[in-house]
């Protein structure tokens, strides 16, 4: 499978978001091969050694990129030079600090489990990034990334759809992209599998063909964002103290490993985070299930949907199998009622709505899980 088979890309001016990984490196190479007029863009999210973070914390130089950030930049520059493509690094350190890192801190300290990738994609990567590039006078028709998701027209709107490779589908992380943003966005790998992308990278002779994928948000853990944490009590549902926690940021709903307490013959899991009282609440597994959740920051992409009630499949985290549900929307709030109880819905995470064909209908941030 090759992008060169599609006439669409020929002579199109396309800016490609480059991170130094196999997906983006292969993408810009294939687009060039297909006849596109490509340029490479990289987000600078970290502070240089001599710079201080605006929050007064240590410089976040490894955010999203890991310890090899500068080495990755050198490799990206070399690749763009080989392709004869213009290359620019866009400084987004201030925006990233304000819209992603500050949000991440606030949510965790409130007892929520935030999703920084969702926030970053909506505000930074598909927001400030492309806008700043345009402000610098860079001329491109489309912005392309290596996301495994598809964009298709539906009822006259550009709508997100799950990628063909369900094991790599990334529509969950970009569900908040509006049709107007998708109009000028390309996800050429939406119909590819990861194996096919690596095969193309090998065919092209790219050094990153076997490069491992980066999974971390902050390399080495979250301590760099929070500093010293305040320990507190771990309690059961009745409030009985079972032990001590290391700081609420180290726990999330559904967690079992690393709690270090026992409440009897049954294993216990984190069922709630009481930030106001600096407590972690643990319960048996059966108490983690809920039939309904309440959502905030709700958006619906297709105005034809009946907000008074529509059926959908809802994903409450990236590795969650979408579950049948009935959704009612009240302004920016939503109520999601599942056909079958779902486990470990964590406030702060996203709930994404899909139809049976994998189109993204919208989504929300989980505010509350209603447990029996």
Residue by residue, pLDDT tens for the chain (372 residues) are 578 777 899 999 999 999 988 999 999 999 999 999 999 999 988 766 534 333 434 333 344 634 456 667 888 999 999 999 999 999 999 999 999 999 999 999 999 999 999 999 999 999 999 999 999 999 999 999 999 999 999 989 999 999 999 999 999 999 999 999 999 999 999 999 999 999 999 999 998 888 777 656 666 567 778 888 899 999 999 999 999 999 999 999 999 998 988 777 889 999 999 999 999 999 999 999 999 999 999 999 988 899 999 999 999 999 999 999 999 999 999 999 999 999 999 999 999 999 999 999 999 999 999 986
Q: How many residues does the chain have?
A: 372
State the angle between helix axes of 194-203 and 22-33 in degrees (0 to 180), rounded to the nearest 10: 60
CATH topology match: 227-287 vs 289-371: no
CB neighbours of residue 274 within 10 Å: 14
Q: What is the pTM of this model?
A: 0.92
Residue 70 has a pLDDT of: 66
Q: Could you state, in order of their start, the residue ranges of all structural domains in the chain?
A: 3-210, 227-287, 289-371
| CATH fold group of domain 3-210 | Rossmann fold (3.40.50)
Exposed (0-12), middle (13-18) or buried (19+): which is 87, by Cβ within 10 Å? Answer: buried
CA dist 292 → 146, 212, 254, 288, 368 (Å): 34, 38, 16, 12, 9
Q: Which helix (H) or strand (E) holds 171?
A: none
> Which CATH number applies to 227-287: 2.60.40.10, 3.40.50.150, 1.20.1560.10, 2.30.30.280?
2.30.30.280
Is there a contact between 131 and 140 (Cβ–Cβ < 8 Å)?
no
- Evaluate the CA torsion angle 251, 254, 257, 259 in order and state its sign: positive
Categorise residue 239: left if φ over 0, alpha if ψ from -120 to 50, beta otherwise.
Answer: left
Does domain 289-371 fall into CATH 2.40.30.10? Answer: yes
């Amino acid at each position: 499978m090759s992008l060169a088979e599609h006439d669409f890309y020929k002579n199109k001016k396309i800016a490609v978001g480059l991170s130094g990984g196999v997906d983006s490196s292969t993408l810009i190479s294939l687009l060039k091969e297909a006849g596109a007029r490509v340029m490479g863009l990289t987000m600078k999210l970290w502070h240089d050694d001599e710079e201080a973070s605006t929050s007064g914390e240590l410089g976040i130089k490894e955010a999203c990129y890991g310890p090899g950030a500068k080495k990755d930049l050198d490799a990206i520059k070399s690749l763009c030079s080989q392709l004869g493509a213009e290359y620019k690094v866009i400084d987004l350190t201030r925006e990233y600090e304000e819209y992603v890192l500050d949000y991440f801190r606030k949510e965790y300290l409130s007892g929520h489990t935030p999703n920084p990738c969702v926030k970053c994609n909506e505000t930074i990567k598909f927001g400030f990034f492309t806008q700043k590039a345009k402000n610098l006078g860079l001329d491109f028709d489309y912005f392309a990334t290596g996301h495994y998701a598809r964009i298709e027209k539906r009822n006259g709107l550009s709508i997100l759809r799950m990628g063909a490779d369900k094991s790599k589908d990334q529509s969950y992380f970009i569900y908040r992209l509006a049709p107007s943003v998708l109009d000028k966005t390309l996800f050429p790998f939406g119909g590819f599998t990861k194996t096919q992308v690596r095969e193309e990278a090998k065919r092209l002779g790219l050094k990153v063909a076997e490069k491992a994928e980066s999974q971390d948000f902050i390399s080495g853990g979250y301590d760099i964002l929070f500093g010293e944490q305040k320990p507190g009590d771990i309690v059961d549902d009745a409030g009985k103290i079972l032990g001590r926690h290391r700081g609420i940021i180290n726990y999330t709903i559904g967690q079992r490993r690393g709690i270090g307490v026992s409440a009897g013959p049954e294993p216990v899991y984190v069922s709630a985070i009481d930030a106001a009282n600096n407590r972690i609440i643990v319960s048996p597994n059966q108490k983690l299930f809920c039939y309904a959740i309440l959502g905030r920051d709700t958006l619906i992409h297709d105005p034809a949907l009946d907000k008074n009630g529509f059926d959908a499949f809802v994903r409450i985290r990236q590795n969650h199998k979408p579950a049948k549900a009935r959704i009612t929307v009240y302004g920016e709030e939503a109520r999601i009622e599942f056909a079958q109880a779902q486990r470990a819905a964590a406030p702060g995470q996203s709930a994404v709505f899909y139809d049976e064909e994998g189109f993204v209908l919208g989504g929300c941030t989980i505010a509350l899980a209603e447990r029996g």
